[in-house]
Structure 1
């Protein structure tokens, strides 16, 4: 590979960090929403349900575009095997660390909270395995998907890199948001058809945790990951997303309205999930423009405070989930107001997560385990490289 020194994309760093940190209000609002979760408040809140739905409808699609962008950027910087090793270590080591230190204690706590620990012995071996997959991978699923996408990138990115530059009549030079919308509409329909086919042939497969995380999620987010890589390779595509589009903003608002209608009136056995996949595929694309354009205008600068949260975002995301469930199980029942509970939850989870982040910075082994990066003795506690 050729060594490519690209200018730091401060706004993309910031967006990636804030999208990850947005997982905190997302999961806390889930407690107070009308959606059934591990823990719920006594009565749902309409505005927190709406807030939760909005975040869920686009956050991870935009995140995977940014992941694809930076992955391809680093692909051009490192030799092939080193690139794969570095990328997999950066996500695989924190994921493997979080399972015994975070999601396993979280699983045991939920067994106690729900009173289901006594029923464990009555489950079949497959039921035990599947329960453990769902609960131990839990909010770490995107790290597993990133490992799979990175592995697929060994072939796909190599293909991108071997393409010779073509004249302006090239397909990518003539790509517009309208054409991209049509492509993503087709991708959404194909994904929906795939899911419906599996549902018709063997429905239990869709309840298998590993199949959902490793296959279904990977298939859904692969187009966004590749779109990010193409945005790095083709400046015109990147410019298309960083330039504000009123059409994208309006289309995203309409898509969100359709998403809410589908959530309220759809039926799980009658195309609810298939319709949702088409809507979120398109909304995700349009929100890439909305988020990138706003970020490029408001966040494209270097700041020590922003850099701190960029470096802290993965650790905070990893630890916030068990903290949120602890809050929902033991503190939420004592707060009558949903809004007050939501605000209290944010303070509780973010405050403890920041304390834990600062503590882990002072232990070299923990810094390595939660970042996947070799630790240099000379490096300051809060200035880890953020590739």
Structure 2
């Protein structure tokens, strides 16, 4: 047995921890982007920091690749167990419901705070705020997608994976495993094909971005993670690939950092652009592999604190964004070094987002709205010798089946 099917009855604690980590890293990432020299974020400080610019860029190179890789792994695992139609129905419910309520309840608040931030930093007159807020709320655009983009993308990837499973008549895992074996037997040909695909992707990216810099970049950014999602499905399907992902050590991590740093260098021609794409992919995989190996070594067993982090991570991700909007806007009123402001915002947003998670977790309705999870009743107190089947508190991550 070469796939991970032998672990069907075991909870993959290290993968749970890694996935939660990538979600929670959204807090320092978005706090740092406020002070980035390369991005004008929704709430942007006039005081910039080269250190925080590099920090945000570095997190971005592996955080979402790691998340989508594990999303692909868990998706393939649950799809393999449940079948295409049953699994897709579950996915659409558990991802679609939080997407709906977060869009209706969180995003309008964010849009309003974003306009307030513009007035605070003097970009627009305060008297124009009501009209600006109304105009933004009545017009669909990027602010309505905001940090929820990953849910839109993940739903699309899940639909595509379910279609592949249906077309393969339930043999997708076996086909993916055979593909990994073929790549292992044809390394040179596979590497050449990979390089050719990267060259084509670099060429297409240049054309799309040239046609529309703003929307072109958005299209590229929303679709590039299919590479990592697909790799995650391969990791589940191949025991060899799974073991390989858990192998990278510190040297591999250093190499990964070097590669993702090189991938940030501006390119001048198609060859350099292609090399940047290859460096970004391999660099991200090396860093993700190193994090996975650490998680496997230190968090491979059940741990109550890690379990709390895993349970809270999705709610934290949904709500940290508006919290950082508010904190970033407030810090426009003071004049502290960017690194100090960043530290206060990141730490405060972490505690406040976790407090929101605790509040949400106390309500079955709120848990359903923002996690897509139905809470079952707490079991009544019964003697240890008496079993009460079916009455357990089911708290499952919104990304599990």
Please indicate the TM-score interval, normalised by the length of the shorter structure: 0.7 to 0.9
Match of 1:207 in 2: 214
Cα distance per residue 1:114-158 (max 9 Å; x no partner): 246949979xxxx96996330011011111100000000012344
Judge conservation of contact 2:14–2:300 (CA < 8 Å) in 1: yes
Q: Of residues 44, 50, 67 in structure 1, which corresponds to 2:48? A: 44
Cα distance, 1:325 vs. partner? 1.1
Alignment of 1:1-387 (within 5 A): 5-35=8-38, 36-115=40-119, 118=128, 132-158=140-166, 159=168, 161-162=171-172, 163=174, 170-174=181-185, 185-200=195-210, 203-204=211-212, 207-208=214-215, 216-244=220-248, 248-262=252-266, 277-378=277-378, 384-386=395-397, 387=400
CA RMSD of aligned residues (A): 3.6
Secondary structure of 1:57's aligned partner = helix
Cα distance, 1:34 vs. partner? 1.8
Aligned residues: 372
Q: 1:169 to 1:181 in 2, by over 3 A?
A: closer
Judge conservation of contact 2:257–2:287 (CA < 8 Å) in 1: no
Judge conservation of contact 1:17–1:309 (CA < 8 Å) in 2: yes
Cα distance, 1:293 vs. partner? 1.9
Cα distance, 1:357 vs. partner? 1.2
Q: 1:166 to 1:272 in 2, by over 3 A?
A: closer
Secondary structure of 1:61's aligned partner = helix
Secondary structure of 1:85's aligned partner = helix
Cα distance, 1:233 vs. partner? 0.9
Q: Which stretch shifts more, 302-311 or 127-136?
A: 127-136
Secondary structure of 2:45's aligned partner = coil
TM-score (ref. length: structure 2) = 0.81
Q: Which stretch shifts more, 16-25 or 367-376?
A: 367-376
d(CA) in 2 for partners of 1:85, 1:327: 38
Cα distance, 1:259 vs. partner? 3.2
Q: Which stretch shifts more, 18-27 or 370-379?
A: 370-379
Q: Which has the larger radius of gyration?
A: 2
d(CA) in 1 for partners of 2:154, 2:257: 28
Q: Which stretch shifts more, 14-23 or 42-51?
A: 42-51
d(CA) in 2 for partners of 1:65, 1:87: 17
Judge conservation of contact 1:185–1:281 (CA < 8 Å) in 2: no
Judge conservation of contact 1:29–1:52 (CA < 8 Å) in 2: yes
Q: 1:12 to 1:332 in 2, by over 3 A?
A: farther
d(CA) in 2 for partners of 1:351, 1:258: 35
Q: 1:43 to 1:275 in 2, by over 3 A?
A: farther
Q: Which stretch shifts more, 36-45 or 133-142?
A: 36-45
TM-score (ref. length: structure 1) = 0.83
Cα distance per residue 1:258-291 (max 9 Å; x no partner): 13433xxx69x99998876454233223323222
Q: 1:109 to 1:86 in 2, by over 3 A?
A: same
Judge conservation of contact 1:188–1:281 (CA < 8 Å) in 2: no
Q: 1:96 to 1:185 in 2, by over 3 A?
A: farther
d(CA) in 1 for partners of 2:7, 2:289: 26
Cα distance, 1:385 vs. partner? 1.9
Q: 1:80 to 1:193 in 2, by over 3 A?
A: same
Q: 1:185 to 1:320 in 2, by over 3 A?
A: farther
d(CA) in 1 for partners of 2:61, 2:205: 18
